[in-house]
Structure 1
Amino acid sequence: MIEDKPRVVVGVDGSPGSRAALRWALRYAELSDARITAVIACGWPALIDLTLPMQEDDIAANAKRELTKTVDETRALLATRVPVERKVVRDHAARALLDEAQDADLLVVGHRGHGGFAEALLGSVSRHCVHHAPCPVVVVHQTPGGDRAQDGPSQRGGVARE
């Protein structure tokens, strides 16, 4: 029964960190028979006095293409048949992930690793999720080798809760 399977939400934005998070989540799902929901957030950035030339529907369509591309490439890389539910959410990334994680057993996010002043100024989706998620959170740090098929739960990444 599908409701009995653990549900894992993973944030995907096409970045190397999110690809590492998706690889980790897919390997975890293979080991635990979990269900995967990949979430990409899109929406208007908070800009003052600036009009963007892109329509909101274009932003959502671009996000859907990026999500599809990332999931398909990552599943092929791992040669996995784990099904992935895909969701495009029109919201800020942290809020979208936290909302989606309300009934999840695990939330997996990548770490971009900007560090320093930029992270303090801009905030961090992974940090926000660790502090506010209703379930355990795994923050996956990209390994130096990039897209490696063997990345998975036994690699880097750990459950963090406050």
Structure 2
Amino acid sequence: MDTYEGPAPIVVGVEHTDAGRLAVVWAADEAARRGLPLRLVHALDWPAGADRDPEANPHRQTWSGRFRDAGLRALAEAAVLASGRHAELVVDSALVDGEPTTVMRAQAVHAAMIVLGSRKLSSATELLTTGGIAVPVTAHASCPVVVVREPEHATADPRTIVVGVDGSRRSEPAVAYAFDEAARRGAGVVAVQVRQPASGLVASLAMPEEIKEGRIRLAETLAGWTEKYPDVPVRREVTVGHPVRTLVKAAEHALCLVVGSRGVGGFRGMLLGSVSQGLIHHARCPLVVVTTVPETDSSAPN
């Protein structure tokens, strides 16, 4: 089926790989936590010149039939996996003709969240596989996109959600997601602001002022959210360094790492640059990229 009626589902891209199964597990757990339906989507990326024959019996011994049959098997296995974890979960499946990036962008229009797996390949190799759809899907999605490269660290003590905060109003959706997720999971929030280092003696002398400014901006960003979620423990970290390395290190034992899709300062243009791609390729826990709001807007609590 190509549409879903009812509450916006969490949509997960289904691949017949370990990365794909890990994404299905994460998506099923998140759908159960939020009381949302789960939609499993497998994109049939037909080779150029292939006979798609939409009326073909998938069990017929033709190449197109076997190709569709493989997609149906992947969906069936994913449905068993999801339902096995949460029997009460409403699960919907869709086999869609099209290139994976195009298919998942279309699904994002009516989704509460998009979940994708990411294989542990080199950056250059991954960009040539379905694991490479994360960057273009995230860049254009109107809903949060979760890239599951590593399992969440559910046994860590304390349990934490790490959020990257750049100090602008555009950080608010990511902060909102982090606090909401922490409240649902009985976890704390670690809010990290990364100040980009500069070179030279003058820069070294200015570093204390950079840290001070970062702390002020971080406190301002978090003020309303700590009031709205008084039971969520919060730790603030202001660091001078490279954004990717700093955030990867901060979240190495986290349930997930949350960042905004665009911003100012250390995250300017991050979705199309090295920061976003670095996090997608190197994050050691699920990465949640949340769509931002215009600079003049705010989703902060009143």
Give TM-score, length-normalised by structure 2: 0.44
Amino acid of the structure 1 residue aligned with 2:43: A
Aligned-pair Cα RMSD in Å: 2.7
User: Residue 82 of structure 1 is aligned with which of 86, 89, 95?
Assistant: 89
Give yes or no for the alignment of 1:32 onto 2:30.
no
CA distance 1:92–1:54, shift in 2 (3 Å): farther
Q: Could you list the runs of 5+ residues in structure 1 that have no partner in the other structure?
A: 48-52, 146-152
1:98 aligns with 2:100: no
**Separation in structure 2 between the aligned mates of residue 108 and residue 122 of structure 1, nearest angstrom:** 16
1:69 alignment counterpart = 77
- For 1:122 and 1:43, how far apart are their aligned partners in 2? 11
Residue 287 (structure 2) aligns with: 158
- Aligned residue in 2 for 1:60: 68
CA distance in 1, matches of 2:289, 2:20: 17
Match of residue 133 from structure 2: 125
| Separation in 2, partners of 1:22, 1:158 | 15
Tell me, in whole angstroms, the C-alpha distance in 2 between the residues paired with 1:115 and 1:161: 25
Give the whole-Å Cα distance in 2 for the aligned partners of 1:54 and 1:83.
33
Unaligned runs of 5+ in 2: 50-60, 154-180, 186-254, 256-284, 292-302
- Identical columns (%): 23
Aligned to 1:12: 14
| C-alpha distance in structure 2 between counterparts of 1:144 and 1:9, whole Å | 18
- For residues 139-154 of structure 1, the aligned pairs below 5 Å read 139-143=147-151
SS of alignment partner, residue 109 of structure 2: helix
Conserved 8 A contact 2:15-2:74: yes
Q: 1-side partners of 2:74 and 2:129: how far apart? A: 23
- Comparing both chains, which one has the higher relative contact order based on Cα–Cα distances under 8 Å and sequence gaps of 6 or more? 1
Displacement of 1:86 = 0.3
Aligned partner of residue 29 in structure 1, secondary structure: helix
Structure label with greater radius of gyration: 2
Partner of residue 207, structure 2: none
**Gap change, CA 1:90 and 1:131, over 3 Å in 2:** same
Deviation digits for residues 7-60 of structure 1 (CA, Å, limit 9, x no counterpart): 21110112111111111111111111111111001132348xxxxx95323211
Matched length? 147
The answer on 1:110 being equivalent to 2:110 is: no
